[in-house]
Chain A
Amino acid sequence: MSQQYSGSRSEREEDLPEPAPAPAGGSAQAGTTDLDSLLDEIDSVLETNAEEFVKGFVQKGGQ
């Protein structure tokens, strides 16, 4: 999915295996295995210091 965009990506993302194609239709049931593998891998795309990261996202209110 990510190849459709140009430009840079952080190296962390490239550690992830290619995602499987999304199923068509509105009744997809995620394989437990897929979710398990994402639970294993998600830490590799998240910045390490969660608290600092979350606190660092501050912006003025919009509408």
Chain B
Amino acid sequence: MDRRIYGVETEFGVHYSHPGARPLTPEEVARYLFRPVVEWGRSSNVFVSNGSRLYLDVGSHPEYATAECSTLDELVAVDKAGEVMMQQLIDQATERMAADGFTGTIYLYKNNADSAGNSYGSHENYLLNRRTEFRRLSEALIPFLITRQLYAGAGKVVAPRTGDTDPGTLDRDRPDGAHFAFSQRADHVMEGISSATTRSRPIINTRDEPHADAAEYRRLHVIVGDSNMSETTQLVRFGATDLMLRMIEAGTPLGDHQLENPILAIRQVSHDLTGTAELSLRSGQRRSALQLQRHYLEQATAFVERHGAHHDRLDAVLDLWERALDAVERQDPAGIDTEIDWAIKQRFLTRYADRHGLDWDSARLAQLDLSYHDITPGRGLFTLLQSRGAAARFLDDDTVRQAVDTPRPRRAPHCGDGSSRRPASPGSPMPWTGRT
């Protein structure tokens, strides 16, 4: 079976903290972070030698877009390589800032929201055969994307609703008090499909840049996802979405589960850890996130039985998908609390809260939520959990470092050989190594 070509783009949150001193804006810190990039390429938008792209995006977010990859191992390794590169930028910026008298601490978060309710994204790209009709594709895919939070969500400590604000239709099922939710991103999604990105964020963005013969291929741009820290969560997120796309491309009948109000539904799912909240379908029926995901998993399992496994991580994808649904159904995350981001985070935060007698409205828990996404090894909560075995992985540090150093196999080098100090042409890649 054909390989899928996929990629993921991550926007990082920038936070500079120096209690008691003059604060620096994210713009100022981002300029320090990207100074080595600008010095090399005279631009804050470069390709680097592993084929990925590094740039400063809207709102001064450092952004890393992976090279187009053709296996899940490659995709996750190249994504994690972006964290290594960002850490190198932090280290260099910290030194330069100290020399200028700014001795605070830079935090880069691989998450999707700041404290004021601004959001930034994790965008997935999947190359598809253009023969698949876009309308049929999106109708089948959106209910899946809305409910995959049950295993793809990064988890979020949600602040209590403040003042007398009318919750409005979209948030009508959201608890008023502080609580833990599946998704970082769900509350910021405003449309099903559109060409917008910042003004009104959709689930599927209609941008279509196939980097291939556009007559043959479409590049699907999914912008509803949470940024994941966990390698195993990424495996099931990209692996399950690829399986859905394969079934849709093959014309497998998946049933009509179009939601009456996708934007309400995505919030209902995020704020209901039981997975049983009933979502209204256009057909007049009602289904829970668990029921829809059970259905997709059954269909995917049968599809793999008919067509065979198309990659060697397929068993792991189906297994974790099933165990995550079991865990939500039984309301016992123990079976996935080293493998699925929201459950890894919830486990640690719950233990911490119990030990210190805290509720979900505690600022300390909100701080730990941010810390989970802090990419700095030895300081960020996820990195600490992973180094102690409380977060599983299927790659290792060497593989990730090699993904910094090495252009993607089977893909022709974009242009140039990366050996010159200066770009030979505007598209030449900036040499980058994971070894410092």
Contacts and interface: CB of A to CB of B under 8 A. Distances in A.
Nearest to A36: B351
Contacts of A39: 348, 351-352, 355
Interface residues of B, number: 79
Nearest to B111: A57
B115 A54 contact: yes
A54 B320 CA distance: 33
B119 interface: yes
A7 B19 CA distance: 22
B120 interface: yes
Nearest to B107: A57
Interface residues of A, number: 50
Contacts of B84: 5
A3 B14 CA distance: 23
Contacts of A6: 88, 91, 436
A8 B59 contact: no
Interface in A15-63: 16, 19-31, 34-35, 37-39, 42, 45-63
A42 B377 CA distance: 13
Q: Secondary structure of the A side of the interface?
A: loop
Contact of B387 (A5, A9, A19, A63): A19
A19 B384 contact: yes
A8 B95 contact: yes
Among A29, A30, A61, find the residue whose CB has the most chain B CB atoms closer than 10 A. A61
Q: Secondary structure of the B side of the interface?
A: mixed
A47 B61 contact: no
B49 interface: no
Given A53-B17, A63-B11, A5 B87 contact: yes
A59 B197 CA distance: 17
A30 B57 contact: no
Contacts of B235: 26
Given A6-B436, A8-B98, A34-B388, A61 B118 contact: yes
A6 B116 CA distance: 33
Contacts of A54: 115, 363, 366-367, 370
Interface string B233-261: 00100000000000000000000000000
B419 interface: no
Among B61, B378, B435, find the residue whose CB has the most chain A CB atoms closer than 10 A. B378
Nearest to B365: A50
Contacts of B63: 62
Given A26-B235, A61-B120, 11 more contacts: A4-B377, A8-B91, A8-B94, A24-B394, A24-B396, A26-B232, A26-B316, A28-B389, A29-B389, A30-B390, A57-B114
Interface of B: 11, 13-15, 17, 19, 23, 26, 57-61, 63, 84, 87-88, 90-92, 94-95, 98, 105, 107, 109, 114-116, 118-121, 123, 197-198, 201, 223, 232, 235, 316, 320, 338-339, 347-348, 351-352, 355, 362-364, 366-368, 370-371, 377-379, 381, 383-394, 396-397, 401, 434-436
26 contacts: A5-B87, A6-B88, A7-B92, A19-B384, A19-B387, A22-B397, A24-B393, A26-B235, A26-B316, A27-B392, A28-B389, A35-B388, A35-B390, A39-B351, A42-B352, A45-B379, A47-B19, A54-B367, A59-B13, A59-B118, A61-B118, A61-B120, A62-B59, A62-B119, A62-B121, A63-B120
